[in-house]
Structures are given as C-alpha cells and as structure tokens.
Structure 1
Amino acid sequence: MKTDVLDVIGETGLQHAAAVNAALAANDRVKFLFSLLQMALSHAAHPDQPAAGLRRERLAAGVEDASLDAVVAGARRAGPRVAIPSARAVLARVAAEMRLMAAPVLAGPQGDEFAARLEALLAEMPQAADDLVDPAAIAAMTQAGRRGEDSLHQLVMDLHRALNAMQAALARETLDGAAVYGLDDERDRARVRAFMAGVNRTAPLKFDHPGLATTATRSGERLVIQNDIGTTDAHVIVVHVEGLVAEVTYTDVHAERLAFLQSLFDRFPVSWTGTDTRLAAGLAEGAPFHMTVGRLEATDEAGLLAWLDVLGSRLVFLIDWNRARKALRPFLRGPARVDVLRWAADEELGHRGFLELGGPRLIYDAIEAAAGSAMHFGDRLCDVLGDAAAEAFVRFVLRTASEGLRARRSQRLIRDRIRAELQTHFSNEGRRLLGRASDHAGLVFEIATLVRDGIAAVGAGEGGFDRLARRARRFEHDADEILAELREAVRRRSDHAAVLRLTESADDAADQLEEAAFLLELLAGLDPAGRVIDRLTALADLLVEGAQEWIKALGHAGSIGTEGGGPLHEDADDFLVAIDRVLALEHAADDAERALRHAAVQHAQHFRQLHLYSEIGRALEEAADALKRSGLITRDVVLGNAMPV
C-alpha cells in the first residue's frame, strides 16, 4: 500500500493521512466486490434474465481487473450451491481489502474491539473450493442488519463511520480540494492553492478513473504535499517546499513512465537525481519500484507558484500512461508512442478519453470501417500509412476522444469522426501516390523534349550532346527514384498496386527515351542526312505530344470522384479524351517509325548511320508503346472504379 512506499522513501509526516485515504479506497472496492457476489447469486437464480454489467461500478471503485466483468454472466447453479467464476479469488480479495480498510482503525483507541470482530468474521468466510459457494453464506456475509447478527457488511459500515471521523479530525480543512492540516501561514496556503489549481485544471481528463487525492501539511520547516496520482500502490508523488526550493520525490513501478514525467518539465530548470530502485514490503512479494528526486530552485515566489501549478497539472497524464503506451503499440513505433503521449500532455488533452472509449478497439473499428483491403492481419498502421500520417491520425484520435467526451458528445459521433478522418488519410495517400505518378510523367516529358531538341541540334550541326545525354540520365534517375518510392508504398498498401503498374509501364518510356538521347550523341558525329532527320523529328514530336497527354490524363484521373457530378462529369470526360489521344499518338508513332526506316534505308550514308537511325526510331516507338500501355491500365482502373483516390 502507499503507506509502505512513504515509509521506504522516508516520508512519515503523511503516513497516517495516507493510511486513512487508502482505507477509504478499500471501502469502495469491498462494496463493489459485495455487489459482484450478490449479482452473481441473482443471475444464477434467474439465468433467463440478462446478466447485469458492473464494469462502470468496477472502474468507479478503482478495481482494474477486467476479468471480473465476466463473473456475473458466468454464474450457474450447481445443485444446492452456486458456481461463480473466480469466487475463491474474489473472496480472498475481500479479506485483503477488509484488512487494508481496518488498518488505521485498528491502530486507534477502538482497535481491540474492531480487531476481534474482523478476525472472527474473516474466519467465517466461505472457502469457495473449486469456486463453489453456499448462497446462504454469501448472503449472510454481504447483508447488514439481519436480526442483530454481525456480518462483514455490518463491519464495513462501522469501519466506514470510524474512518470518516478520523478523516474529519485529521483534515480540519479542505483547501481547493486538498485535505490540509497544520499549515503554518498564508504562504503555505498560497502554495497549496497553486498546486491544486494545476490539479483541478486537468483532473477532468481522468474521466471516471479514481485518483489525484491530495493531502498537505507542515513538517518542521517544510511544507509537504502528497498526491496519490492513481490506485497503484507504488505510484506516489511527494513535494517538499522550503523557502524557494521545491523538491519532488516520485515513485513508480514503470521506469519508462518515470522518464516521461521528467520530460514534462523540460522548460523548467529542474535537476533530477539518478533513478533509484527500492523494495516495499507492503507490495506484492516485496516488489521493486523506481524513485527519482527533482529539485527546483525558484528565483522568486511567482516562479515557485508557477512551477507548483504546472506540476499539479501534469499528474493526470501519468494515470494509465503505461496502459495507453501499450494500447498504441499496434499503430505506432516505440518512440512515436511516447511522442504522442507527450504531445497529448502538452496540449492538455491526455489519453484517458481514448482509453475510456475502448483504447485500441476504437482505432481497430475505424480501420475495419475505412481501410477495406488496404490493411491485412498483422499490418501496423504506421507501416501502411507511413509514420508521419499514422502519428497525425493517432493525435486526432486522442484529441477527438478527449474533447468529445468532455463536451458530452455521443460516442457514436466521436467514433464516426474518427472513421471519417481515417478514410481521409487513406484517400489522401492514394492521391499523393497518383501525384507522384504525375511527377514521373513530368520527367518523361522532360526527357522527350530533350530528345526532340537534340534531334534538331543534330540536324543543325550543333554540339553539346554530352550535356543533353547527362541531363537525360539525371531525369531518368529521378524517375527511377519515384518508382522505388511507389514500390515501397505498395509494399505497405497493396491496394495502390494500380498506381505502381501504370508508373512501371511509363518508366519503360523513360528508359527508352534516355537510350535515344544516348544514341543521338553517337549520331551527332556522323554527318546525318537531312531527310532522315526530318522523319526523326516528326517521330520525336509525337513522343512529346504523347507525354503531354499522359500528364493531362493523370491530372484528370486524380480529380475524378472528388466533386459532384455523374461518372462522366468534366474531369472524367477530359481524362478519356487525353487517354484517347495517347492511344492515337501511339498509332501515329508506328507509322512515323516505318517512314523513318524507309528514309534511313534510302539516305543513310553507311551502315553505322543506318544502325543508329534504326535504333533511335525503335527506342522512340517503344517509348510510345509504353505510354499506350500505361494509358490502357489507367483507363481500365478508372472505368472499373478501382482507382484508390
């Protein structure tokens, strides 16, 4: 329990208050366990009735064991007894919580009387061998006021009254939600108010989760503030303030969360000690916990109050932090998960809203509704969308969940907004990739233009063909880089394979055009014949025009379906016209290549020149063929409604 941790870290001033708080929390858990057993008996007696769900009651009581949600539905009659799932474990937990609840009362003047009742009643508890219980024994244990007989429930009520009296005597004042006693002067009170201003500003972000109870007192020369954060025993923060120096002692079972807390105060000059690992006997089997101490030396009172405010406001982001980090594992890489949680804290949104709405199930439902065939079993969202897009989407989820719940929006609306956002990400990725295919088409056009200009330069007897060939090689290399990017994207998302196929075909055109540029460099020194150059120029002009139409076709394809109109609205019609021109130009290129060969055979001055004319013509004709194949692929995909944009 938390008092054991306070003892280990040497903080004794608040142990009694912590013990009372822990006992009151145990009271809530015991009452939940009683209700659980009673509802299980009722369901076993009336199995035809729907089983009561106690999840909300469980969470409100601070019980984290989700397996208890299935106890009521699993209860069945077994002859004169009732089989209750985990009954033996539930009863053992009742006994442990009873001892925790009674601890501060047993240390008081009525301790002997309560101790005798506690031991007698615990000895009478049913053993629940094989999770079978006697309904009468459970009823006697969980009911109060039966013909003057004592019961565990009656003891719980009596202990609760005693604890309330102890708390009233201990904390003679509540200051902005903090239980305070023994404060020295108004300066102490101002510092507690500053801390509580931060706590109260962000406390709603924990939603139904228990925690953040604060106690403050003066111990000698120091103001001592303690916050229980959540329900984990070893999760404690204690603040000592003396003069303008504040020291924060923080304990946690998770070293990663401890490092996360330290990162929340980067803008303050806080010096942290190295992490220390200790054992607390009151924890399960002397479990270890980690401890660090942060020290802030403020320059003035205003700076100290500002620090206390920020410190109080950050504590809510530690509740269920490790659970949230694990919940994000299927969607983000390790560092990104911590970055997102840090962002949620900085924005004062938190992660508890995300967990309240189901955590990973919230995102899985959106994926199921929006992703279609884009994701398969085992895929991580960051591998499919890319790291930046996945992180942006998860941030949207955390913001939408937190703000939606705080504004009391319906869960249905929150889930619909998350699904719509994910659909946008998938659609945007398709348009982005098609945009990269358009960039590739632009490079094809640039190489085609270089070839056409090179042919004109050859005919005019001009030089500089080495520079032309180098530029063509650079453009072709850039086109290959785009193709590699698309291959990687399709490896993540196979539903974009159509974009890859059409770009792979267009890349064949880039390769053939770059080859033609290389051959032109060889042709330049062979005194080319003018009539053949005219035929070569005509063929190159067709390639430039075909590349232009290819760019137009991809541009219109990216707009189809993004605005109103039927399937043949303006963009669709322009797309079909551009594709038709690509196909027509390929036929014209076939004729032009034959005319080139005819002229080359008649006018080539020697075999080397004839060979170069033929090879350049073949490269240009194959480039036109490649653009035609790309156009056919794109037409079939768009008309088949399969373009992922």
Structure 2
Amino acid sequence: MEKSDAVASLGQHSLLLPAWVKTALLANDRLKLCLTVLQAAADRAMAPAKTPPDLRSEMAAAGLDAAWLRDMPTQASRDGEDVLLPQLPQLATQLAQDLSLMARPLLQTETDKSTRERVAFWAAKLDGLHDEDVLSPALLRALSHGHRAKHGEPADDSLHLLVMDLHKQLNHLAASLASELIDGAHVWQLQDDDRPRVAAFMRGLQRTSALKFDHPGLDTAATRDGERLLIQNDIGTNDAHVLVLQVQGLTISLTYSDLHSSRFEFFQAQLATYGAQWSSPEARVSAGLNRGEAYQLGTARFEATDEAQLQGMLEGIASRIVFLIDWNRARKRLLNFVGKREAIAVLAEAAKAEIGHMAWLKAGAERMLFEAMQAVGADAFRIGDRLDEVLGEAGAQAFLLEVLRLSSTAMLAQQPAALVADETRLLLARQLQRRAPEFDLLAEHAAYCQTLAEGISQALSHGWEQDKEAAAKLAQRAKAWERQADHLVMQARERARRQPRWAQFARLLETADDAADALEECAFLLGLIAEHHHQGWNKELRGLLAQLAQAVLHATQEQVRAVAVARGLNGASEAAEHDDFVASTWQVLRAERQCDELLRAAKRCMAAEVTNAAALMLVNDLANQLEFASDRLLNAAYALRELVFSKTEVGA
C-alpha cells in the first residue's frame, strides 16, 4: 500500500501526479518484463530443447523476482498449437495491476478518448483470463506483438502496443511536471505567491525534523490546483497516516487521517495554539488502507488576518508533525511507569519543548528506565513498582520529561546510548534524594488532623454545641476528612507490603490516624450535644473545653511543622534545622501535658455543674476524646523523632 493511495482517498489527486508517474514508469518495466517472459515460455513450449533466456537481473531490476514468474518458461508445455501455461492466471493478474498503475496518471489528466477505450478493453480482457491456463496463438499475438498497421491495413492492437503508447504519453506528462525543490519540498506548477508559503511550511518542518533521527517520513509535496495551494506531508510509514493542507487566500484547511484516535486527539491539542477549528472526526474504512480497518479522519480550519500570520500558522503546523511519528509506540512504553493521562501529558510537554520522544526510543526506552530503577536498589523500587507509585504523579512526569530531554540532547550530539543510561541513573538517584513520597503521606495526613482540630476548636469557641445545623455540617465534613486520612494509611500499608522501608512510616501513620479518629469522634459528639444535650454548660466549662481543643490544635500544627522539617533532614543538615525539628516535637509534648491538666479541670467543672445524665456522658466523652487525640499525637511525634534520628544517624 502506498501513501499516494491514502492521499487519493482524501480526494487530492493533483498532489499525486509526480508520484503516480514514477509508479507508472516502474509498472511499465514490469509489464515489458512479463511480456518477455511470456514469449520465452511460448518459445520453450514449442522448442523444449531451446534454453530459455536468463532474465534474473531484469527481474531483480524490475522488483518482480517472483518464483512463479521464474518457473513459467520451464513449466510451459505444448498442446497442439496451444501452450499449456499453469501460471497464466497469475500473469494476467500481474499484467492487469501494472496496466492500471501505468494508466492511472494519464486517466486523471486530459488524455484522449481512444486511450481510455484501449485501457478499458485490455483491463476487461485480462480480467477474463483469471481462470484460463491455455495460451492460444491468437492470444499470444494479441498480448505481445509490436507490429503497427500500415496505411490501409486494418488496425491490429495489442497489449504490447498499448504499453508502448502509454509510455510515450507518460514521458510527455513527466516533462510537463518539471519539478523543483523549495527547501526540500517537491513542488510543481506553483505561482509566485505560493513559494513563500511553502518555504514557511518547510521552515517549521526543518526546525524539528532532526528529532525523527533515521526514521523515514516527513516527505513534502506541493502544487497549485486552481485557486488552491496544496501541501501534502506523508508523516511516517503507515498508509492511513496522512496530512494534506489547502491554502486559499488567508484560509488554511487541513485534512488529517490517523489510525489511532488518541494520537488524533493529541494532534488536535497540538494545533490549538495556532487557532485550529476542528470538525467532528469521523471513522472511515477504505479498501486497501490500514488493512481494511477503521481510521480517524478530520479537518481543521485556520483563519489568518494577514500574510505574516498565515505563514506563521503554516510554520507552526509543520513543526508539530514530527511528534506524531512513533507517538503510539512511545505512549505504550511510558505506560510502564505512569498512567494513560500522565503518559500523554509527558508526550505533550516533550512536543511543546521541542525535544520529542524518538531519541528516548532509540536510547533504550523502557529497558533503560528499568535498569535505572534496578540500579538504585530494592529499597526504592521492587518488582512491579511504577515510577508514579514511588515518585508521585507529578514527580514521575517531571522525571520522565527530563529523561526525554537528556535523550534528545545526547542523541542529537551523536553521543552513545550508554551515556544517556548513565545520566538517567544519576537523575533518578537525585530525584529520589529530593523526593520523599513517604513524607508526602505523613504531611498530608498531618494536614487532615490539623483541619479536623481546627473544626473542633472553631465549634467550641463559637458555641456550636447549641447550633444543631452547624454542628451537623461539621460532623459530616469531619467524616469525609477522616476517611481521606484512612485512605493514606491504607496506601502506606500497601507500600509496606512491597517495600520494607515503608513499614516504619506505615506504623507512624497508624498512630497518627488514632488522633484523626478521635477528632472525628469529637465532631460526632458535638452533633449529638447540639441536639439539646448541652444542659449545664456554663461559661467556665465552655472556656475549658475551648482551651482543650485549642491545645490539641496547637499540637497538630506543630506536628505539621515537624514533618515539614523532617523531610529535608539528613546527616549533612545544619544544627539549626535539627533544633527546629526537636523544638516542634517538644511543643507537641507540652500540648499533651496541657491537655491533661485541662481535662482534669473540665471534669471537676462537669461534676459540679452538669446534672443531666445524657449531657454529662456526652461532654465527658468529648473531653476524653480531645485528650486522647493529644496523647496519640504525642506518640506520633515520638515515632517521628525515632525515624528522623535513625535517618540522620543522630542519637535520641
């Protein structure tokens, strides 16, 4: 299947005449070769002792070195005046195909009626031979003779004569298509105004074309068709992957076909910068294209306000084409490390930065990354881990984009792939040092605890124990926060099953999660208290409970700060950084001791003022849960201290 067939399916035949003429001339060579072999087979059948000519070099030159054609002279046999030729159906098929290819460019132009009738006659004649294996003398003459009738003699046409006449017409057509090059684009029949537009397109193409390296593709053709300038680019090697532009006035109409719907959407997004207005893509099936499978076809329209903007659009469109080559292969390999959305985002950023993905594919792609992950050790990656599971989605995307950048820079400088692999390993090691996903989970969980504590503190400071609606809303929000905190604990447990270094963090999170559970329980209790169970709450009790909640809030704030400082601590950290961390954990301890004292004061006040049994039970539970939260926060702070001290090799 040729690219020209795909362009023809889009209706742009005038772009194809040079390619069709070239194809037709090759078909001419094959037709003449087949007729020569046919005559040799007939001669051998009539004279078996005669040595058939050696046509191997001619077959190779014509690209038709087929076993059935080589064997045809030796397998032909005589039956009276006829020749038995088992390969006659195959020969007829080959002759019919090449006749169609040879006549195609002529039939698309203003060729004479006689030629059209002769081509149609011989196409039908050859089609009738598909079930024949007998070559009669009359049929042999009709196919192969080259005698032209003299004046006064009856016309005696043959396939051979038709081929010779078509060849002459093709030579005239080729001369009329005197082609030139504009910055690498094959062009013909252009007007003066077309040339700077083609040059602008080629300027964009050449700006990024080096990023395809040795991959075939990006050949460009341009011609004038009436009032339109037509530009066609073959992109890569797939027959259904074609791009055709029509430029008329200050308007560009782009027709694009692609067998991958996700790549189609990627290209749509790429052209949005240049003002593309896309029609709804349609699924199309064309005989002979993409093995008969459906492909996507769509058009985009670009409206320029002046010539400079038009040329800028042409340049921008062309600069995006290289990023379509092997795009789906790169996407599939990236899926080993990130999700679908993230893989496409990496490719989009690589295209935006004009670094592409082909260099990464050439440098080893997923194999290179797997080796880098293995080199940093099992403590960081275990079998089956993806990059985004260890580095996080944003971290993994940033790392992959930088790997693509490294690959492109190195391969464009013709540096060895081994150098890219070494740089990738170093980059991953540095990324792991900077990136601490376990601390991300700790920080996020600590933030949920702080949010829960802020809600409880605000409620007790503003008297929400008497506001049923406000208390109910707080309880509902607190439940959602607590569930999100639980999800973080489950993530840590899952990672701990695959990576031993996560076990200590999972235990720390489980301890901290007890505080989150206790604070969510406080929100629930406030909701119950607001349902007319706040009898006996005087000013002193409200004040003590508010102070208790404020102390717990202070503990969560210090825990957030301690986690933030701990993230960056290592053996090389400054003493002041260690002091900040220790100070935060001590503040958690102080908050817990303050909560102990406030709880006892609150209990004395409850015993003196609250006489309703339900109200006493609920307020007592509320105070106990607040103090329990401070206690679990302290345990989490101690666990964090042990973790950091072991990490920095500093004694407790």
- When normalised by structure 2's length, the TM-score is 0.61
Deviations 1:159-213 (A, max 9, x none): xxxxxxx999987533212233x33442232222122111111112212322212
Amino acid across the alignment from 1:279: S
Alignment of 1:241-260 (within 5 A): 241-242=247-248, 244=250, 246-260=252-266
> Alignment identity in percent?
31
* Correspondence for 1:31: none
* Alignment match, 1:43: none
Is 1:512–1:620's contact at 8 Å kept on the other side of the alignment? no
Residue 324, structure 1, aligned to residue 330, structure 2: yes
Q: Choose from 177, 184, 188 the match for 1:177.
A: 184
Between 616-625 and 521-530, report the one with greater CA deviation.
Answer: 521-530
What CA deviation, in whole Å up to 9, does each residue of 1:412-434 have, x standing for no partner?
4641465157526742x444433
Which residue of 2 is the match for residue 622 of structure 1?
628
2:311 to 301, 305, 318: 305
For residue 545 of structure 1, report the CA deviation from its aligned partner: 4.8
Structure 2 CA distance, aligned partners of 1:606 and 1:192?
A: 92
1:510 to 490, 508, 519: 519
| Conserved? CA contact 1:600–1:610, under 8 Å | yes
**Mapped contact 2:478–2:523 kept (Cα < 8 A):** no
Change (3 A) 1:632 1:279: same
8 A contact 2:247–2:253 mirrored in 1: yes
User: How many Å apart are 1:480 and its aligned residue?
Assistant: 4.7
Q: Secondary structure at the match of 2:322?
A: helix
* Selected match of 1:411 from 417, 420, 423: 420
Confirm or deny: 8 A CA contact 1:324 1:355 kept in the other structure: yes
1:594 Cα deviation from its structure 2 partner: 6.7
Distance of 2:345 and 2:300 partners within structure 1:
22
- Aligned pair partner of 2:198 in 161, 183, 192: 192
Deviations 1:339-373 (A, max 9, x none): 54344434433332332333334544455456956
Which amino acid in the other structure matches residue 505 of structure 1? D
Aligned-partner residue type, residue 329 of structure 2: R
Aligned CA RMSD, in angstroms, stands at 5.2
Equivalent position of 1:18 in the other structure = 19
> Where does residue 436 of structure 1 map in the other structure?
444
Q: Aligned letter for 1:191?
A: R
Query: Aligned letter for 1:433?
Result: L
User: Could you say which residue in structure 2 is the equivalent of 1:5?
Assistant: 6
Instruction: Please tell me whether Structure 1 or Structure 2 has the larger radius of gyration of its CA atoms.
Output: 2
Residue-pair matches, total? 511
**Distance in structure 2 (CA, Å) of the matches to 1:592 and 1:8:** 83
Q: In 2, Cα distance between the equivalents of 1:235 and 1:224? A: 17
CA contact (8 A) 2:263 2:324 kept: yes
Cα displacement (A) at 1:316: 0.9
CA distance in 2, matches of 1:528, 1:616: 16
Q: How does 1:163-562 map to 2 (within 5 A)?
A: 173-180=180-187, 182-218=188-224, 222-242=228-248, 244=250, 246-266=252-272, 267-268=274-275, 270=277, 272=279, 274-275=281-282, 277-281=284-288, 289-294=295-300, 296=302, 300-365=306-371, 367-368=373-374, 381=387, 390-403=396-409, 405-406=411-412, 410-412=419-421, 414-416=423-425, 418-420=427-429, 422-423=431-432, 426-427=435-436, 429-443=437-451, 446=454, 464=463, 466=465, 480-492=479-491, 494=495, 495=502, 497-498=506-507, 500-511=509-520, 525-526=535-536, 537=544, 545=551, 548-549=554-555, 551-560=557-566, 562=568
User: Structure 1: how far apart are the matches of 2:626 and 2:179?
Assistant: 93
CA contact (8 A) 1:393 1:422 kept: yes
Q: Residues 340, 367 of structure 1: CA spacing in aligned structure 2 closer, same or farther, 3 A cutoff?
A: same
- 1:169–1:398 Cα change, 3 Å: farther
CA distance in 2, matches of 1:299, 1:465: 62
**Superposed displacement of residue 301, structure 1:** 3.8
Residue pairs, 1:105-184, within 5 angstroms: 106=30, 115-116=58-59, 122-123=66-67, 173-180=180-187, 182-184=188-190
Q: Structure 2 counterpart of 1:250, which letter? A: Y
Q: 1:639 to 1:508 in 2, by over 3 A?
A: farther
What is the Cα deviation at residue 517 of structure 1? 6.3
* Distance apart, 1:578 and its partner CA: 4.9
Q: How far, CA to CA, are the matches of 2:625 and 2:293 in structure 1?
A: 74
Equivalents in 2 of 1:517, 1:253: separation in Å?
60
Unaligned runs of 5+ in 2: 37-54, 72-172, 496-501
- What one-letter code is carried by the residue in structure 1 that aligns with 2:441? L
Structure 1 residues 357 and 125: alpha-carbon distance in aligned structure 2, compared to 1, 3 A threshold? farther
Question: Quick one: structure 1 residues 14 and 599, their matched pair in 2 at CA, closer, same or farther if it must change by over 3 Å?
Answer: closer
Determine the C-alpha separation between the residues in 2 that align with 1:452 and 1:221. 78
**Aligned equivalents of 1:272, 1:611: Cα separation in 2:** 68
Give the drift of 1:579.
Answer: 4.0
Measured after TM superposition, the shift of residue 628 of structure 1 is 3.5
Aligned equivalents of 2:570 and 2:596: distance in 1? 39
User: Does the 8 Å CA contact 2:221/2:233 hold for their aligned counterparts?
Assistant: yes
For 1:2, the aligned partner's letter is: K
Q: Secondary structure at the match of 2:181?
A: strand
Structure 1 residue runs of 5 or longer lacking an equivalent are 24-99, 128-165, 455-463
Does structure 2 retain, via aligned residues, the 8 Å contact 1:487–1:500?
no
Residue 230 of structure 1: CA displacement? Answer: 1.3
Partner SS for 1:212: coil
Instruction: Output the amino acid matched with 2:317.
Output: L
Q: Identify if the C-alpha distance between structure 1 residues 236 and 597 changes in structure 2 by more than 3 Å, giving closer, same or farther.
A: closer
Shift of 1:638: 3.0
Query: Deviations 1:239-278 (Å, cap 9, x if unpaired)?
Result: 3445555444434333443444344333435564753624
How far, CA to CA, are the matches of 1:291 and 1:612 in structure 2?
A: 67
For residues 529 and 272 of structure 1, what CA distance do their matches in structure 2 show? Answer: 69
Compute the displacement of 1:304 (Å). Answer: 3.6
The separation in 1 between residues aligned to 2:616 and 2:268, in whole angstroms, is 76
Rounded Cα–Cα distance in structure 2 between residues aligned with 1:569 and 1:383: 33
Q: CA offsets per residue over residues 423-467 of structure 1, 9 Å max, x none?
A: 26742x44443333443453466478669969xxxxxxxxx4635
- Following TM superposition, by how much is the alpha carbon of 1:504 offset from its aligned partner in structure 2, in angstroms? 0.8
Supply the distance in 2 between the matched residues of 1:296 and 1:612 (Cα, whole angstroms): 69
Contact 2:338 2:387 in 1 (8 A): yes
Deviations, residues 213-240 of structure 1 (Å, cap 9, x unaligned): 2233445665443322112233333334
User: Structure 1 CA distance, aligned partners of 2:350 and 2:380?
Assistant: 28
Q: Separation in 2 of the partners of 1:412 and 1:446?
A: 49
What is aligned with 2:108?
none
Measured in 2, the distance between the counterparts of 1:324 and 1:621 equals 55
**Cα pair 1:252 1:290 within 8 Å, conserved:** yes
Three-state SS of the structure 1 residue aligned to 2:193 is: helix
Counterpart Cα distance in 2 of 1:350 and 1:289: 24
